[in-house]
């Protein structure tokens, strides 16, 4: 879903999308038997076989947004962008000279390379346009903060900054990869999270799972408050974004996927009606919701995954 939206908006922003996670997005380690670790380390896929790995280091995310300078100062960014453009022009000229001496097969490979160069050129051009805009002056993060909560807060702040600067319009964020073993001693839970989810209806374990989920939602609520207090056009950022919050498991001990509680937040620039609790029949595909949100974003999509139609109750502007 995120990459369909990213493709629709990619010409409008410097980055088509941003993928973030708190965990190290490693492709090795403990993963589901028979599956690549890519399936548990990312929720973003450029194609059915190409995962977009999420980044957990705030410093790397900052540099992806603003380059390697130490701040978002417009003059520093403009100077760096001019240097990048000079290097790109030089490389492009040399590649074209090389093409005159290559055969058809090698030229096809070079054309693929040039296509990626053109994408870099597009991003530089977009960055030059955006560098003249007023951007909040924020210092580059030093790295990964100590502790889960400050790490999450910083990644949320970077998403807000990306939206505020219009550097991207699509982000995904994972608190943790599948089978996450993180403990939460800061809220009195020293046991690892994943084993607790296999609670076998033990009320003590279930209560601890609920506390972890409440803690996650509390951190998310802090992000929402910052979006609400950030002016954007004729309202706030929260008025103009659409956020989808939830997970992929309904009953963690049984590994069932329904009924699946899911939050939809933000005004979507008037396309979403909020303040409601909607209940749909069992086995209604989650992709129906995702299809509806894509249409609310102005992305024409006839079908998405196993979708069977839109959820007309979500928005008065959508039809089934």
pLDDT block averages, 10 residues each, the chain of length 320: 94 91 74 80 88 90 75 56 61 76 77 61 58 62 88 94 91 90 95 95 96 97 96 93 93 90 93 89 94 93 94 61
Closest CA to 272 of 304, 301, 243: 243
Residue 90 domain-assigned?
yes
CA distance 34 to 98: 44
- Whether 159 and 182 have beta carbons less than 8 Å apart is answered as no
Residue 121 domain-assigned?
yes
- CB-neighbour burial class of residue 2 (10 A; exposed 0-12, middle 13-18, buried 19+): buried
Q: What is the per-residue pLDDT for 314?
A: 80
Residue 24 domain-assigned?
no
Residue 180 domain-assigned?
no
Q: Which two tokens stand for residue 184?
A: 């939460």
- As a whole number of Å, the end-to-end CA separation of the chain is 19
- Whether 169 and 9 have beta carbons less than 8 Å apart is answered as yes
Long-range contacts of residues 111-116, Cβ cutoff 8 Å, at least 24 apart: none
The sign of the torsion formed by the CA atoms of 176, 179, 181, 187 equals positive
Instruction: Report the b/e string of 70-89 with b at 16+ CB within 10 A.
Output: eebeeeebeebbeebbeeee
Closest CA to 260 of 218, 289, 234, 301: 289
Q: What is the per-residue pLDDT for 319?
A: 36
Which H or E run includes 139? none
Q: What is the per-residue pLDDT for 129?
A: 60
Q: Which two tokens stand for residue 174?
A: 């994972």
Q: What is the per-residue pLDDT for 38?
A: 84
Residue 119 domain-assigned?
yes
Instruction: Report the b/e string of 193-216 with b at 16+ CB within 10 A.
Output: bbebbebeeeeebbebbeebeebb
Residue 16 domain-assigned?
no
DSSP-based three-state secondary structure for 70: coil
- Whether 287 and 294 have beta carbons less than 8 Å apart is answered as no
pTM comes to 0.80
- Whether 183 and 192 have beta carbons less than 8 Å apart is answered as yes
Q: What is the per-residue pLDDT for 318?
A: 39
Residue 66 domain-assigned?
no
Range of the domain at 130: 73-134
Q: How many domains does the chain have?
A: 1
- Whether 179 and 32 have beta carbons less than 8 Å apart is answered as yes
Residue 111 domain-assigned?
yes
């Amino acid at each position: 879903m995120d990459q369909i939206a990213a493709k629709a908006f990619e010409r409008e922003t410097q980055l088509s999308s941003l993928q973030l996670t708190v965990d190290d997005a490693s492709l090795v380690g403990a993963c589901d038997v028979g599956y690549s670790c890519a399936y548990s380390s990312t929720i973003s896929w450029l194609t059915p076989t190409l995962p977009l790995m999420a980044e957990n280091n705030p410093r790397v995310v900052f540099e992806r947004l603003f380059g390697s300078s130490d701040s978002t100062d417009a003059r520093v960014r403009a100077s760096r962008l001019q240097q990048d453009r000079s290097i790109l022009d030089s490389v492009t000229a040399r590649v074209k000279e090389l093409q005159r001496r290559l055969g058809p097969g090698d030229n096809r490979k070079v054309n693929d390379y040039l296509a990626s160069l053109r994408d870099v050129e597009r991003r530089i051009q977009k960055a030059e346009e955006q560098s003249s805009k007023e951007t909040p002056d924020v210092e580059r993060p030093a790295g990964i903060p100590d502790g889960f909560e400050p790490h999450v807060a910083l990644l949320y702040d970077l998403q807000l900054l990306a939206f505020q600067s219009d550097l991207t319009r699509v982000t995904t964020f994972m608190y943790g990869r599948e089978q996450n073993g993180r403990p939460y001693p800061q809220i009195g839970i020293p046991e690892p999270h994943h084993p607790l989810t296999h609670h076998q209806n033990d009320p003590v374990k279930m209560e601890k799972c609920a506390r972890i989920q409440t803690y996650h939602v509390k951190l998310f609520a802090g992000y929402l408050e910052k979006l609400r207090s950030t002016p954007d056009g004729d309202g706030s950022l929260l008025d103009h974004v659409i956020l989808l919050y939830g997970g992929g498991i309904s009953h963690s001990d049984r590994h069932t996927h329904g009924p699946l509680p899911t939050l939809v937040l933000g005004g979507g620039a008037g396309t979403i009606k909020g303040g409601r609790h909607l209940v749909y029949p069992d086995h209604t595909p989650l992709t129906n919701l995702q299809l509806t949100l894509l249409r609310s974003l102005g992305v024409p999509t006839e079908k998405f995954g196993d979708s069977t139609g839109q959820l007309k109750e979500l928005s008065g502007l959508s039809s089934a």
